[in-house]
Structure 1
Amino acid sequence: MRLMGRQLILKVLLGSAFMGLLMLLVNQQQSPCIPSLDLWPSSQKAPTEDPLGLSSRKFEWQTRTPHPLDLRYPYPYPFLINHPDKCEGPRGAPFLLMLVMTRPQDVGIRQAIQQTWGNETLVPDVVIRRLFVLGLSLPLFAQELQALLEEEDREHGDLLQVGFLDTYHNLTLKVLKGLEWMAQYCPTAHYVFKVDSDVFLNPSYLVKQVLQPNGPLWPNFITGRIYRKSVPFRIRGHKWYMPPELYPQDRYPDYCGGPGYVMSGPLALRILTVAQRIKAIYLEDVFVGLCLKQLGVKPTPPPPNTFLMSRRKYDHCAFHRLVLVHRIQPQELLQIWPDFLRANITC
Structure 2
Amino acid sequence: MHLRRPRQLLCASLLLALLLLWGLLLVTEDARGAWVVSGRFPLARGRPLWRWCFGGAAPAPSGVNFPSLLASPGAAPRCEPGQVLLILVTSAPGNWEQRRVIRRTWGAQDEPAPFHWQAVFLVGQAADAGTASRIRQEQQDFGDILVGNYRDTYRNLTLKVMHGLKWAAERCRPRYVLKTDDDCFVNTDRLPGFLAQLDPVPARLYAGSVFSREKRQVIREPSSKWYVSRQDYGPDKYPPYASGIGYVLSLEAAAQVLAAAERVRPIPVEDAYVGILAEAAGIRAQASTRFAKHNVQWRVCNYRYLMVIHHLSPPQQEAARRSMLQARNACRDSLEVTRWR
Find the partner of 1:221 among 205, 208, 215: 205
Post-superposition CA distance 1:116-140 (Å, at most 9, x none): 11224678321102211100111xx
Q: CA deviation at 1:168?
A: 0.8
* Residue 325 (structure 2) aligns with: 341
* TM-score, normalised via structure 1 length: 0.74
Q: CA deviation at 1:72?
A: 7.8
Distance change >3 Å, CA 129–CA 340, structure 1 → 2: closer
Q: CA deviation at 1:167?
A: 0.8
AA in 1 matched with 2:273: F
Post-superposition CA distance 1:303-322 (Å, at most 9, x none): xx211112212422223321
Find the partner of 2:186 among 201, 204, 222: 201
Q: State the aligned residue count.
A: 282
Distance change >3 Å, CA 67–CA 266, structure 1 → 2: closer
Which has more helix, going by share of residues? 2
Q: CA deviation at 1:213?
A: 3.3
Find the partner of 1:156 among 134, 142, 147: 142
Find the partner of 1:44 among 14, 28, 35: 28
Find the partner of 1:253 among 239, 251, 260: 239
* TM-score, normalised via structure 2 length: 0.75
Q: CA deviation at 1:207?
A: 2.6
**3-state SS, counterpart of residue 322 of structure 1:** coil
* Residue 8 (structure 1) aligns with: none
> Hey, what's the Cα distance between the residues in 2 that align with 1:256 and 1:67?
22
Distance change >3 Å, CA 83–CA 225, structure 1 → 2: same
Post-superposition CA distance 1:145-172 (Å, at most 9, x none): 1221122122211110112110110010
AA in 1 matched with 2:308: L
* Residue 312 (structure 1) aligns with: 296
**3-state SS, counterpart of residue 330 of structure 2:** coil
Distance change >3 Å, CA 312–CA 105, structure 1 → 2: same
AA in 2 matched with 1:164: Y
Distance change >3 Å, CA 123–CA 72, structure 1 → 2: same
AA in 2 matched with 1:316: V
* Alignment check: 8 A CA contact 2:232 2:266 kept: no
Aligned ranges 1:97-246 → 2 under 5 Å: 97-120=86-109, 124-138=113-127, 142-187=128-173, 189-209=174-194, 211-213=195-197, 215-229=199-213, 230-246=216-232
> Hey, what's the Cα distance between the residues in 1 that align with 2:204 and 2:166?
18
> Hey, what's the Cα distance between the residues in 1 that align with 2:293 and 2:142?
29
Q: Is 1:73 paired with 2:74? A: no
Distance change >3 Å, CA 132–CA 320, structure 1 → 2: same
* Alignment check: 8 A CA contact 2:90 2:123 kept: yes
> Hey, what's the Cα distance between the residues in 1 that align with 2:110 and 2:171?
21
* Alignment check: 8 A CA contact 2:190 2:307 kept: yes
* Residue 265 (structure 1) aligns with: 251
Aligned ranges 1:19-58 → 2 under 5 Å: 43-46=27-30
The structure that has the greater radius of gyration is 2
> Hey, what's the Cα distance between the residues in 1 that align with 2:63 and 2:201?
33
* Residue 328 (structure 1) aligns with: 312
AA in 1 matched with 2:233: Y
Q: CA deviation at 1:328?
A: 0.9
AA in 1 matched with 2:72: F
* Alignment check: 8 A CA contact 2:303 2:323 kept: no
Distance change >3 Å, CA 144–CA 236, structure 1 → 2: closer
> Hey, what's the Cα distance between the residues in 2 that align with 1:266 and 1:336?
32
What runs of 5+ residues in structure 1 fail to find an aligned partner? 1-40, 48-57
> Hey, what's the Cα distance between the residues in 2 that align with 1:185 and 1:74?
18
Q: CA deviation at 1:254?
A: 1.0
* Residue 15 (structure 2) aligns with: none
* Alignment check: 8 A CA contact 1:122 1:203 kept: no
Percent identity of equivalent pairs: 27
